[in-house]
Chains A and B, each alone.
Chain A
Amino acid sequence: DQQVKQNSPSLSVQEGRISILNCDYTNSMFDYFLWYKKYPAEGPTFLISISSIKDKNEDGRFTVFLNKSAKHLSLHIVPSQPGDSAVYFCAASGGDSWGKLQFGAGTQVVVTP
């Protein structure tokens, strides 16, 4: 049973605009959430994380928002750049998944000029 879901397999956004990636989870015990970025032929690269005691974390162009009541998190990329074209995975851990990351299936982002 998939506990972390990314329902949008792809997203196309114009350079300079905002990219919003969404992720939903079902396990209310998850308390640590991460976003990874993956280019072809490379492993996932850590982008940003958030603990459940916060509802927002920002790092440069990347901001992650957490809505615990809705079991939803999102990643905002502002402004989007061509180098941001990649697959983005959200991941979560906590509860009986403590120390283990549960990943979503990923969202392919394409940033167009």
Chain B
Amino acid sequence: ETGVTQTPRHLVMGMTNKKSLKCEQHLGHNAMYWYKQSAKKPLELMFVYNFKEQTENNSVPSRFSPECPNSSHLFLHLHTLQPEDSALYLCASSPSTGKYEQYFGPGTRLTVT
């Protein structure tokens, strides 16, 4: 595997379910990010981790819970989501935070019913 991978690619969940999104990067980077992309809207930064430490929570509701066990893996735990949380969730990584381009995974298309 190369680059940034995300699983699952598609997820349908009910509002009472608990699920997790997984991201793995094989680039040796130290910073990882979660973004949300809703239809016709810009990518919205959700969380930033640098060297496994969370450095940014962009006022994300607590029903989204990130976890970064090491610099290569990032999870987004989901529970009691709302239909308006349906979106494309993108993971990205970069060598560190700062003036670096970020490399994105293919995303997880989430539908909340």
A contacts, CB < 8 Å to B: 2, 4, 31-32, 34, 36, 41-46, 49, 51, 89, 93, 98-106
Contacts and interface: CB of A to CB of B under 8 A. Distances in A.
B99 A44 contact: no
A65 B105 CA distance: 27
Interface residues of B, number: 24
Contact of B101 (A4, A31, A41, A46): A46
Contacts of A42: 106-107
A30 to B, nearest CB: 11
> In the complex, which of the residues B90, B103, B104 has the most CB atoms of chain A within 10 Å of its own CB atom?
B104
A2 B92 CA distance: 21
Shortest 5 CB-CB contacts between residues of A and residues of B: A43-B104, A99-B97, A103-B43, A46-B101, A103-B42
A49 B40 CA distance: 24
B55 interface: yes
> In the complex, which of the residues B42, B103, B107 has the most CB atoms of chain A within 10 Å of its own CB atom?
B42
A43 B107 contact: yes
